Chain A
Amino acid sequence: MFVDQVDLSEARAPTSVRRKLKPVLLWSAVTDTTQGAGAGEILSAPLIIEYPFKRTTGPVIGAFLTGLRERVLIGSRAEDGRVIVPPAEFDPVSGNDLTELVEVGPAGVVTTWAWVSAPHAKHPLDRPFAWAQIRPDGADTSMLGAVDAGAMENMQTGMRVTPVWADEREGHICDIARWIPESDGGNA
């Protein structure tokens, strides 16, 4: 009996362990098929697909990510004068190179939001929060962030928020651990 069920549980093994193994060695038949599969018996075999993806971020996105590490928000100025955050490498209208980097925020304004009443394991916060579009001061576009407002009643379009930086930053969007209402304590 061939059952197209695969067990992905090992995919949650620590990355450090998995990287030591060649992908092809990760696969191994764990089922004894010589006995013949009886009724109700489900064959399973692990199928783990993992590649160590890397990113070369280039001069503009790279500057944004480096900025996060330094607690600075960086945008790029488009040819029509708008400041785009996170920065665009090329002008969205003309396609020309955008080379003028602009520091913005880091505080900004919520332009729209949605309340998450029951966060799941992969959400950035383990308590109810708002996904919000936040336009940093000096920017003309908004970016996604998690606002730790305590209760939905505290959320309002147009409210001011400020980022809370992660203690250990590595040039990743998660260097912004969360955003909090500015009324809750300014530059945390």
Chain B
Amino acid sequence: MGKQRVAVVGIGQTKHQATRGDVSMAGLVREAALRALADAQMTWADIDAAVVGKAPDFFEGVMMPELFLADALGCTGKPLFRVHTAGSVGGSTAIVAAQLVQAGIHERVLTVAFEKQSESEAMWALSLPIPFTPPLHAGAGGYFAPHVRSYIRRAKAPDHIGILVALKDRQNGLKNPYAHLHEHDISFDSIKDSLMLWDPIRYAETCPSSDGACALVLGSERVADAAAADGRKPAWIQGTAMRSEPTLSAERDTVLPLGGALCAADVYRQAGITNPRKDVDCVEMYVPFSWFEPMWLENLGFAEPGEGWKLTEAGVTALDGDLPVNMSGGVLCTNPIGASGMLRFAEAAMQVRGTAGDHQVDGARRAVGHAYGGGSQFFAMWVVGADKP
């Protein structure tokens, strides 16, 4: 028996903000899950299994939170599975959920990813001091800044590219009612003048810390066909891939990680994509710091090495461009870390379902969702389309 078809038939997310003081961790997860169920026109009873993802447990200080979230996800007595792959976890969680349907094990799987960053300090949680090793970085930005600097040098990219990405994503975020940041007064100059946090990454080129959750309902071909017959378009999953590589191996290229390139090649092969630049209508990729847009454009094969920034500069990646990138406003507008990858995957699915509202790309039929995590070492991607694979 070959792989079964699987589609996204329900999507839900919370309103993301710095502190969701009105809900518990369980209440936050549930809010996204209930919206996904409503979108799929299902109840808890319809769900066969749940797959939960989040970034490191010490971000909130609750070990294995999936155990106490079973009630909140209507999962008592049902299979409940936890995934953890650092920042890419939202993507890999959705992929694991999809595999449960592809393998013919379940027909309707709920998958949820979340982070409640207000309950701790992810910035310092990502700055673990190591005895007898000089403290080299403060937060993820400190870790990634040298990668960005290296990219700028290798690609001979002009300084303002990062600012252009930040401006585009923050303006896209204004069209997304769920986005954490809605900065109406943002401008090229306000970004340029913002504090330099980790040279060359400015404050306004940096993602926020958010509370939020995202949920998807994945259905078998039978379930998705029924939804389509009812006028609710499924997003068919045309390919999924995950790759990882060690953080500190000496030969590793952190600007163009091999794991990311292999992940992209695998998912394109599954989806029958031979020229991603032409065959893909829009991309939602994991860009927590502005410069990662041109870097990932190259890593994912949308541009040759050293050429990614030219797409950004030419406006190709704008919402009305030839290859829109981060239509939702991306991680730069919303970053509940564990959910951030799934939000990318969800946005890709919303685009091909035609349900992305004001940030909809006209006629989007095939979209890529991408997430990365750790020290640019965990990668997860999927290709979703309006058409069955």
* A residues lining the B interface (CB < 8 Å): 2, 4, 6, 22-24, 26-27, 29, 31, 33, 43, 45, 47-49, 51-62, 88-96
Supply 19 A–B pairs (Cβ within 8 Å), ascending by A. Answer: A22-B124, A24-B124, A27-B135, A48-B129, A49-B128, A51-B125, A52-B120, A56-B23, A56-B25, A56-B118, A57-B24, A62-B24, A89-B24, A90-B71, A90-B74, A92-B71, A95-B73, A95-B75, A96-B44
Residues of A within 8 A of B127 (CB): 23-24
CA–CA, A33 to B132, complex, Å? Answer: 10
Within the complex, what minimum Cβ distance (angstroms) separates B130 from chain A?
Answer: 8
A51 and B61 CA atoms in complex are apart in Å by 9
- Which of A49, A54, A56, A92 has most B Cβ within 10 Å? A56
- Asked if B132 and A95 sit within 8 Å, CB to CB, the answer is no
Given A6-B131, A23-B129, A91-B71, A58-B27 contact (CB < 8 Å)? yes
Tell me how far the C-beta of B75 lies from the nearest C-beta in chain A, rounded to whole angstroms.
7
Contacts of A31 in B (CB 8 A): 132
- Which chain B residues (13-36) contact chain A, with CB distance < 8 Å? 19-27, 30
Question: What residues of B have a CB within 8 angstroms of the CB of A95 in the complex?
Answer: 44, 71-76
A-binding residues in B (CB < 8 A): 19-27, 30, 44, 58, 60-61, 71-76, 116, 118-121, 124-125, 127-129, 131-132, 135, 138
Query: In the complex, A43 Cα to B60 Cα: how many Å?
Result: 32
Complex CA–CA separation, A55 to B22 (angstroms): 11
Contact with A90, one of B23, B26, B58, B61 (Cβ below 8 angstroms): B26
* A51 touching B75, Cβ below 8 Å: no
* B74 CB contacts on chain A under 8 angstroms: 90, 94-95
Knowing that A29-B132, A47-B129, A60-B24 are A-B contacts, what are 11 other residue pairs whose CB atoms are under 8 Å apart, sorted by A's residue number? A4-B131, A22-B124, A27-B135, A43-B132, A54-B119, A54-B120, A56-B19, A56-B23, A56-B116, A90-B26, A90-B72
- Cβ of B19: which chain A residues have Cβ within 8 Å of it? 56
Q: How far is the CB of B217 from chain A (nearest CB, A)?
A: 15
Bound-complex Cα distance A31 to B30 (A): 49
The 5 A-B pairs with the shortest beta carbon distances in the complex, nearest first, are: A95-B74, A58-B24, A27-B129, A53-B61, A90-B71
Find chain B residues with CB under 8 A from A94 CB.
44, 74
Residues in chain A near residue B131, CB distance under 8 A:
4, 6, 27, 45, 47
Instruction: List the A side residues contacting B129 at CB < 8 Å.
Output: 23-24, 26-27, 47-49
